[in-house]
Amino acid sequence: MAGMNENDAQHCEMVQQQLEERVGLGQSLTPELRAHLAGCPGCHAHLTLLRELEAALLEDVPPMQPPAHLKTQVLSAARQTRIQTQTVAPAAQARPHAARRWWPLMLGAAAVSGLLAFGALLTPSRGTAAALPDPAVVVAAAGGLLVASNDGGGTLNLLRGDQVTASLRSGGAQPAWFTQGVRLGDRVYLADAANDRVLEVGTGPLRVVRSYPVPDGVAGLTASSDADGGRVYFKTVRGSVGRLGDPQHQITVAREDGMPLADVMDGVLLSGGRLFVTHHLTGEICLLDPETLNVVGRVVVGGAPVDLAPEAGGTVLALDAAGRLLRLNAGGEVIRSWPLPGHPDKLGVNGSVALVTDRAGQLTRIDLVSGEIQPMPLTHPMDVVALSDGTFAVAEGGGGGGVRVLDETLKTSWKRQGGKR
């Protein structure tokens, strides 16, 4: 930068080292770093390069088996570097050359792949004790479960049975706050409300395929297959509805001022040729034409509807965080209601059984035929998804949480313990 003095250069070098550490660890930027970046194009460009490198490593480098001699070579090089560093004069240590910090960028793609695979030797991907930090969203993916964590780095884990088979950090300008996930074919779409985006995730291998910006933040998602390959619909925090990747098709159905991250939740569901959308701040459910996104009906159900699920026969279940489960007909009108304890916010349905989670510490089973209500205490249930074999997967947040699979009687089939990183 023209006119930069030595003190400025030293400060920028310190800032860039902090950026490298925070991006590498998936940590958010401090207010001091953000203030510096706002007035320093050089450091801002450095951050951009770091994120581009991180994205390239996550998305573009294929997994490969490292050669047998790689471990010996890497450890030998590390020991040699440490010896050289210890013998350098203090004055030289104070200003490390940029090329030395950035030697990994000089490696070819094959060498980087080998180093990443070598890292897998040091940290096994199967059965890692801290593999599920603060699970928030669980989605039935191709051949397993995808678990997204609100742990700061936006960690994604792929489970086959109760074993973790792959893991990565999604990163982001802010610590990720995943609120919902849906599957479409071999892809999973995750709503990250903190970073105003939806992540498209592939699971074979696990990778972030694409990030879709949603400027007003994401409050709800649904996916539907069709002749064009499928669509993903979203509802924003401020009350707009649109189709992912299609900025021309978005309509505002409510004027909302936004809400705290902990309250970012709404339901979107395509059923019977209509798009159902909840507005939990107004107690409404809107019906939209899925092609034009024009509103064709509004129904005031009261309370705070936050989630939706389809039923066989064309009816729809709506979960009210004020303590109700509602059955709606094709026109959105309430035709049956079940009272629920607490403030439930996530819903899963398998046949005649519904499970709802309450972050305050409870799971509730509802028999949709008899109306029987059966509560089950859990520490911090965050999400529930119905699985094709009639069971349910539940994400339990917090440092000691994890993922458990329950049958329709609430008996635990297996549990994957979580932990802190």
What CATH number does residue 139 fall under?
Answer: 2.130.10.10
When pLDDT is averaged across residues 244-268 and rounded to a whole number, the result is 72
CA distance 307 to 315: 14
When pLDDT is averaged across residues 315-328 and rounded to a whole number, the result is 97
| 157 and 87 assigned to the same domain | no
Share of the chain above pLDDT 70, in %: 72
Q: Residue 291 corresponds to which tokens in the numbers above?
A: 């092609």
CA distance 137 to 401: 12
**Most confident stretch, 18-22, 24-28, 315-319, 412-416:** 315-319
| 192 and 333 assigned to the same domain | yes
In a domain, 335, yes or no: yes
Instruction: For residue range 136-163, list pLDDT tens digits in order.
Output: 999 999 879 999 999 989 999 999 988 9
In a domain, 130, yes or no: no
Whole-angstrom CA distances from 58 to 39, 44, 115, 169, 359 are: 29, 21, 13, 8, 32
The last residue of a domain, from among 61, 96, 122:
122
When pLDDT is averaged across residues 276-292 and rounded to a whole number, the result is 93
| 143 and 260 assigned to the same domain | yes
CA distance 238 to 254: 7
Q: Residue 131 corresponds to which tokens in the numbers above?
A: 């593999």
| 173 and 266 assigned to the same domain | yes
Listed as own residue / partner, the contacts of 274-278 with beta carbons closer than 8 Å and 24 or more positions apart are: 274/330, 275/222, 275/233, 275/241, 276/308, 276/316, 276/318, 276/328, 276/332, 277/220, 277/235, 277/241, 277/253, 278/220, 278/305, 278/306, 278/307, 278/308, 278/318
CA distance 303 to 319: 10
In a domain, 1, yes or no: no
The least confident of 76-90, 128-142, 218-232, 351-365 is: 76-90
| 76 and 175 assigned to the same domain | no
182 pairs with which residues across the strands? 189
The last residue of a domain, from among 80, 100, 122:
122
261 has pLDDT over 50: yes
251 has pLDDT over 90: no
Residue 259, pLDDT score: 60
When pLDDT is averaged across residues 281-307 and rounded to a whole number, the result is 94
| 106 and 166 assigned to the same domain | no
Residue 155, pLDDT score: 94
- Going by pLDDT thresholds of 50, 70 and 90, the confidence category of residue 166 is very high
Cα 224 to chain centroid distance, Å, stands at: 19
CA distance 153 to 21: 13
| 182 and 301 assigned to the same domain | yes
Strand order across the 353-358 sheet = 346-350, 353-358, 362-367, 373-377
CA distance 96 to 217: 41
283 has pLDDT over 90: yes
Residue 401, pLDDT score: 80
Q: Residue 238 corresponds to which tokens in the numbers above?
A: 């401020």
| 50 and 173 assigned to the same domain | no
63 has pLDDT over 70: no
| 413 and 334 assigned to the same domain | yes
Whole-angstrom CA distances from 296 to 224, 277, 303 are: 20, 12, 22
Question: Mean pLDDT over all residues of the chain?
Answer: 79
In a domain, 127, yes or no: no
In a domain, 322, yes or no: yes
- 47 or 386: which carries more pLDDT confidence? 386
The last residue of a domain, from among 100, 122, 144:
122
Domain count, the chain: 2
Instruction: For residue range 1-51, list pLDDT tens digits in order.
Output: 434 455 677 888 888 888 887 666 555 677 788 788 888 888 888 887 776
Residue 404, pLDDT score: 94
| 181 and 319 assigned to the same domain | yes
Q: Under DSSP, is residue 400 helix (H, G, I), strand (E, B) or coil? A: coil
* Domain range enclosing 314: 135-417
98 has pLDDT over 50: no
- 14 or 58: which carries more pLDDT confidence? 14
- Cβ-in-10-Å burial (0-12, 13-18, 19+) of 367 comes to middle
When pLDDT is averaged across residues 78-85 and rounded to a whole number, the result is 46
| 82 and 143 assigned to the same domain | no
Match 């609430």 to its residue by tokens. Answer: 410
Amino acid at residue number 73 = Q
- Going by pLDDT thresholds of 50, 70 and 90, the confidence category of residue 112 is very low
In a domain, 145, yes or no: yes
Cα 242 to chain centroid distance, Å, stands at: 19
Q: Under DSSP, is residue 414 helix (H, G, I), strand (E, B) or coil? A: strand
Match 């899925």 to its residue by tokens. Answer: 290
113 has pLDDT over 60: no
| 159 and 98 assigned to the same domain | no
CA distance 19 to 30: 10
